[in-house]
Amino acid sequence: MKLAIFGASGHTGIPLVEQALAAGHTVRALVRTPAKLTIKHDHLTVIQGDVSDPAKVNETIDGCEAVLTVIGHSKTSPKDIQAVATRNIIDAMNHHGIRRLVSLTGAGVRDPKDQPKTVDKVFGFLLKTFSADVAADAEQHAALIRASGLNWVIVRGPMLTEGPRTGKYYVGYVGKESGTRVSRADIADFMLKQVKDNSYLQSAPMISSS
């Protein structure tokens, strides 16, 4: 498949791009600083630009069959970067008639199927207290996707680690078969499967180490 990936030069984006290429996909990646994406491959097209620029988002998505986003916050990013990017991505997908969107967010974004335990509630409270802007942006990003009418999957993760891809992880909801961490490589593994798998359409599963 031809995939558009946003956030490709980040800590989770790099294993996502690597795995996508290894699986035989063609990738178009929008990055602010191409030098940070050191992967070289005949099936990788790197476009320099910002997710806040609708024209660059549109250029990246043009001709693709599915979109994956692992956009995160940095010290210099706007506090609403996820929401702004998501609006641009949804608009571009609608323009090009692309239906499948797989997007990563944190476990702090709640789902009706969650049954949070005390520790989950504590972490959620701490996030909203000390990272209120990040939490609000993640919630708005998820709300935009849920209202988009697209074939979407919101992938939620706890603490992300630099461990290897194991292919062994829980897929559930907060408080039910959920752990406190998962490797970025395993998150990438699950996200890639969602470009074809319909099991979790219009759902927001939580992925954590088994």
* Domain harbouring 29, CATH code: 3.40.50.720
- Which residue range is the domain that position 142 belongs to? 2-209
d(CA 67, CA 89): 8
Structural tokens at position 23: 């699986």
| pLDDT per residue of the chain (210 residues) written in tens, 0 to 9 | 999 999 999 999 999 999 999 999 999 999 999 999 999 999 999 999 999 999 999 999 999 999 999 998 877 778 899 999 999 999 999 999 999 999 999 887 888 887 766 655 655 555 555 467 778 899 999 999 999 999 999 999 988 999 999 999 999 888 777 778 899 999 999 999 999 999 999 999 999 986
**What does pTM read for this prediction?**
0.92
AA identity, residue 35: A
Torsion sign (Cα): 73, 70, 5, 80: negative
Torsion sign (Cα): 56, 133, 94, 100: positive
Domain count across the chain: 1
d(CA 99, CA 149): 9
